[in-house]
Each structure stands twice: as C-alpha cells, then as structure tokens.
Structure 1
Amino acid sequence: MQQRPVLETDEIQQMLDAATRKALENAWSVSIAVVDEGGHLLAFRRLPGASPSSARIAMDKARSAALTRRPTHFFADMLAAGELGTSSLRGVIPIGGGLPLLHGSHALGGIAASGVKSEFDVLIAAAGLDALHLEQCP
C-alpha cells in the first residue's frame, strides 16, 4: 500500500498565517482559503474590509488549483490567448490567485486569496507556499 503526504493542522495554520501577514503588510483586505487535494475547505480567513464575494471566490480558486494541480492563472492565460475551450471546464476558475499545493508528485491541496488584483492575490497565496518551502508551479 502506498503512503502519501498530507497537510498537518500546524502546517495549514502556518500557511494561513504567512498569507495573512503578506496581506496585512500591504494593507490588502482579502479572503484566504486552504483546501485539501479533493478541494474540501481546511482553513479560511476573511480579513477586515474584505468584500463578502471574496470569500467564495477564494474558496473556488483554491478548489480549482487543487483539483487541476495548476495555478488558476494558467486558465486565465489560456482564455486571454483566445483558447475558449477551457471555459467549458466545469469548476475551473480562470482568475489568478489560486495555487496548487504539491509535494513532489503528490497533490496536497490548494491555497488562494481573493480581494485585490490577481497578481497581488498570487503573492499572498505564494507566501503560504513559502511558509512550507513548497515550490510554485509555473
């Protein structure tokens, strides 16, 4: 029987805290979500001033990144290039800010932020990855 790595509670908290620090350092009012490899919510934080819609979008971005094992900006870039076939992928969020959590070839889940420009949402999510020394997908 194979064994696979999973996120521990303290690791989830480290990611959420690091992402929160990044947002607060820049005075960005965002929502941050961490999900498992099946896209199920593990942790969530909505910072003061974050719009109510940012909560759902952060969860959806994290879920999309976890299930596809790709950053959500991958799909945004495809749409921007005119590859509209990706718009038919059910549950894929083509807005930057969601990153998969990968350990080697194993999917651990996803992390995402929503509430500011996509390129800033990505920086917040990346801070969560950095907390566990996980590499970003291109």
Structure 2
Amino acid sequence: MQHRPVLDANDIDQMLNAAAKEAQENGWGVSIAVVDEGGHLLAFRRLPGATPSSAQIAIDKARSAALTRRPTRFFADMLAAGELGTSSLRDVIPMGGGLPVLQGSYALGGIAASGVKSEFDVLIATAGLAALNLE
C-alpha cells in the first residue's frame, strides 16, 4: 500500500492565514480558496471589500490549478498566445491567481485568490503556498 502526503488542518490554516495576511497588508479585498487534489473545497475566506463574484472565481482557480497541476497563469498565457482551444478545456480557468500545491510528484491541492489584478492574486496565492515550505 502506498502512502501519500495530504494537506492537514494545520497546513490549510497556515496557507489561508499567510495568503490573507499578504492581501490585508496591501489593502486588497479578495477571496481566497484552498482545495484538495480532487478540487474539493477545504477552506475559504472572503476578506472585507471582496466582490461577491470573487468567491466563486477563487474556488474555480484553485480547482483548476489542483486538477491540472499547473498555475492558472499557464493557461492565460496559452490563450494570449492564440491557443484558442484553451478556452474550451473543462475546469480550466485561464487567468492568473491559482497555484497547484505540489510536494515532489504528489499533487496535494490548490490555492487561489481572486479580487484584484491577476498579478496581485498570484502574489497572494504565492504567500499562502510559501507558508508550507514544500520542497
């Protein structure tokens, strides 16, 4: 039987808190989502000032990153390069702000932020991911 790493409650809290801290320090009202490797929601936080639409977008970005094991920016770049088929891929969100949570060859889940420019959403998600100190 194989054993694989998974995100536990402490990991999830660390990610969510670090991402929220990054957003709050910059005055960004965003939504932040953490999902497991199957794209199922584990944790969510909507900060003051975040738009209602940012909630579902954050969840969708996190899910996209977890399922594809790629940052959502990868698909935004493909679309910008004229790869129009990218827009029709199921469960793929072609905008920055979603990152996969990977440990070695294992996908543990995804984290994403939504509510400000995508490059700032990426900074927020990166802060959350960095809290885990994954190798």
TM exceeds 0.5? yes
> Alignment RMSD, CA only?
0.7
**CA deviation digits over 1:7-44, x for unaligned, max 9?**
01011000000000000000000000000000000000
Residue 71 of structure 1 corresponds to: 71
Q: Structure 1 length normalisation: TM-score?
A: 0.96
Helix, strand or coil for the counterpart of 1:29?
coil
The unaligned stretches of length 5 or more in structure 1 are: none
Amino acid at match of 2:120: F
Q: Give 2:53's aligned residue.
A: 53
The residue correspondences of 1:1-138 to structure 2 (distance < 5 A) are: 1-134=1-134
Shift in Å, 1:133: 1.2
Deviations 1:71-130 (A, max 9, x none): 000000000000112122111000100000000000000000000000000000000111
Runs of 4+ in 1 over 6 A off after TM superposition: none
What secondary structure is seen at the aligned counterpart in 1 of 2:2?
Answer: coil
Aligned residues: 135
Name the CA distance, whole Å, in 1 between partners of 2:34 and 2:19.
10
- The TM-score with structure 2 as length reference comes to 0.98
Residue 105 of structure 2 aligns with an amino acid whose one-letter code is: S
User: Per-residue deviation at 1:134?
Assistant: 3.0
Identity %: 81
User: CA separation in 2, counterparts of 1:28 and 1:50?
Assistant: 8
Distance 2:130 2:92 in 1: 24
Task: Structure 2 unaligned segments of length 5 or more: list them.
Answer: none
